Structure 1
Amino acid sequence: MSGFTIGLAIIGGLVLAFIVAWNAWTTRRNTPRQPDAMTTIAATVPMENERTEPSFHDDLPLAPPPVERRPGLDALIDVLAPIVVDHPVPGEIALGALPPTRRAGSKSFAIEGRNDATQEWETPRPGQRYSAFQAGVQLANRSGALNDIEFSEFVMKAQAFADTVNGAPDFPEMRDEVARARELDQFAGTHDAQLSFTLRARNAAWSPGYVQQNAARLGFVAGAIPGRMVLPANVPGNPPILGLAFSTQAAMADDPAHSAIRDLTLSLDVPQVPRSEQPFVRMRDAAIALAASMDGLITDDDGRVIPVEALDAIGADLEKLYDTLDARDLSAGSAQARRLFS
């Protein structure tokens, strides 16, 4: 065999080796990363609704005078209408008089009774007797402020209940309550915060199992919807501390192992979670840990990489927001804040 032929053979072999290596690299890059061993994702925790981008402000409206705290209805965030009755009303009658829906427009509506035995305000229960009632409708939520139509619906529902239990309601002035609703809505709108970080794959995509395994190592569990995970609160029944979301379509694929995920979202609904849970610190640490273990980048919604210094600055702004909510008696994670920012 001539030297020329041998040279061609060597070159051909090198080209073939390069093609094989290129195909192997391309296949590996395009194949979603798989979990080492599937981690069981236990428990199902409901996800909260997705929220909007945060806004931080230093201005603080003056807090209202102290109001009587009650379990449920609260003069801080509800319109209250006392209902006087001549004689204690059995819980069965009160329950039968409740309207079929517990909303007035987009606002929550409720009736509470003062238990004749305990003198505590509560939702009517069978076997109890109630010496007074109060009707309430929420002043504001993330859908906006209570308006004239919703106030009128509240009056009709409360009046119908009062008529059934032979009670006499005392309604506040609509104009005053609607104005109070607008002020509260303005405060809520300028002190609401829903944060999110996007984690993007640097090179190889991720499979759903790979995402779930890495998130589970940080304490995340399966949410109520495929492609959703949550970091549960330390107190049972409280909203989750953090949310993690990736493609629902990928999670529900016939063969999830071959579903390619290139990004996921970590989210925090600030007013819903107590400061004591250190939610932002846990969000930041989770983002950094996932980026390291999954070869990802922490970015904003536009794909810009977020440096660690920027994360620290966001945390400092959040501390100011927590202080503002505390001063308004709407501390993050409190029953009042969870209802207002819902």
Structure 2
Amino acid sequence: MSSTLQIGLAVAGGVVLAGVVAHSAWSSRRNAPRKPDPIVAEPAATEDAADGERREPGFDDASLPLPAAPERRATLDPLIDVIAPIALEGPVSGDAVLAALPATRRVGSKPFAVEGRNVNGGQWEAAQAGQRYDALQAGVQLANRTGALNEIEFSEFVMKTQAFADALNGAPEFPEMREEVARARELDQFASSHDAQLSFTLRALHAAWSPGYLHQNAARLGFVAGMIPGRMVLPSGTPGLPPLLGLSFDSQAALAEDPDQAAIRSVTLTLDVPQVERAEQPFVRLREAAMALAQAMDGVVTDDTARPLTREAMDVIGSELEQLYDTLDTRELSAGSALARRLFG
């Protein structure tokens, strides 16, 4: 009797233990990060615009559009730059201009540039070897996201420009410092109050996501891997322009030794408004991407305080964004324009 009871208890204990192990394994599988679909190992092919041939993009930096070749056109603009004309005794070669340029192209935290007027056609452009120029101009940006040009930076601009001009026997003419610094502050105030970088956060409702699972779903919407671990971008259709949208997640998860076990519970979708043309409808694409990823990955779209974003709230954001676009257009700093990309950079 005792032996039978012991056997019964042992069997019952084994059943309980098996149940505990099975429940633990089930819970582990349930809470493990979701992995990419093994059947779809790569994102859908894209068409190469040059020859119409199908290409299979990978998740590496080669997927990003190649930078456009530098355009031989003027970049300095009195709207956002201090410009100092440099008179010359006679035409100078582009090679001489390039040799005389300062080692750095910055004045404090502001970009510094030199342009020449080409004797062939009279166009202002960045100096090119093999060309000749009958006039030069140097410029420094009035403001960017680091703030307004100040008196110290203006003085550095004067010294750097004077040294460059001296090397070419040129005579620079500088605007009045107080007026330019005041103009810089006004421009910086406008830019600060009309800068917009929107972000939506996508949070996992249940199981976390592995990096591969996230990459796979984002790639279906056109995102490719960025230069930084934990970042993907939706490239512009025009090579050399900033991406339309960004997608970022924990860089430690992206660099994990075993990516399948790295757990991602939230990702951030971003739109740098002044950097993207209005015609691209980037906010519409931001909304669509966020909603599509939420549906595909069992997530919810929230703001940066973790409150769910309703369609009505997104409509309000979109309406306010249209007003911002109008204001930038009126100021001749349209979103996505070369000047806006520089000012809000």
Q: TM-score, normalised by structure 1?
A: 0.87
Measure how far apart 1:99 and its partner are. Answer: 0.6
Aligned to 1:118: 121
* Structure 1 residue aligned with 2:260: 257
Q: 1:318 to 1:11 in 2, by over 3 A?
A: farther
- The residue that corresponds to 1:73 in the other structure is 76
Q: Does 1:274 align with 2:277?
A: yes
Amino acid at match of 1:77: I
> Are 1:22 and 2:40 matched, yes or no?
no
* Cα distance in structure 1, aligned partners of 2:332 and 2:175: 23
Which residue in the other structure is 1:306 paired with?
A: 309
2-structure distance, mates of 1:298, 1:109 = 41
The answer as to whether partners of 2:144 and 2:343 remain within 8 angstroms in 1 is yes
Aligned-partner Cα distance in 1 for 2:105–2:14: 77
* Cα displacement string for residues 77-124 of structure 1 (whole angstroms, at most 9, x for unaligned residues): 000111111210111111111110000000000110000112100111
Is 1:109 the equivalent of 2:112?
A: yes
The alignment's C-alpha RMSD in Å is 2.1
Greater relative contact order: 1 or 2 (C-alpha under 8 angstroms, separation 6 or more)?
1
**Contact 1:44–1:224, Cα closer than 8 Å, also in 2:** no
Gaps of 5+ in 2: 43-57, 66-72
1:210-260 Cα offsets, whole Å, 9 max, x none, are 000000000000100111100000111100000001111111111111111
> Within the alignment, does 1:294 sit opposite 2:297 as a pair?
yes
1:212 aligns with 2:221: no
Pick from 78, 85, 94 the counterpart of residue 82 of structure 1. Answer: 85
Q: 1:295 to 1:100 in 2, by over 3 A?
A: same
Identity %: 68
Out of 165, 178, 182, the position equivalent to 1:179 is 182
Does structure 1 residue 32 correspond to structure 2 residue 50? no
Q: Deviation string for 1:149-205 (max 9, x for gaps)?
A: 000000001111111111111100000000000000000000000011111111111
The 8 Å contact of residues 268 and 280 in structure 1, kept in 2 or not, is answered as yes
Distance 1:201 1:102 in 2: 44
8 Å CA contact 2:74–2:115 kept in 1: the answer is no
Superposed displacement of residue 21, structure 1: 5.4
How far did residue 12 of structure 1 move?
A: 7.1
**What's the secondary structure of 2:74's corresponding residue?**
coil
Q: Is the 8 A contact 1:35 1:209 kept in 2?
A: yes
| Residue 67 (structure 1) aligns with | none
- Distance in 1 separating the partners of 2:133 and 2:184: 29
Partner Cα distance (1:336, 1:136) in 2: 14
- Amino acid in structure 1 at the alignment position of 2:23: W
Q: Tell me whether 1:328 sits opposite 2:331 in the alignment.
A: yes
Counterpart secondary structure, 1:312:
helix
Separation of aligned partners in 2, 1:134 and 1:84: 8
Question: How many residues in Structure 1 have an aligned counterpart in Structure 2?
Answer: 316
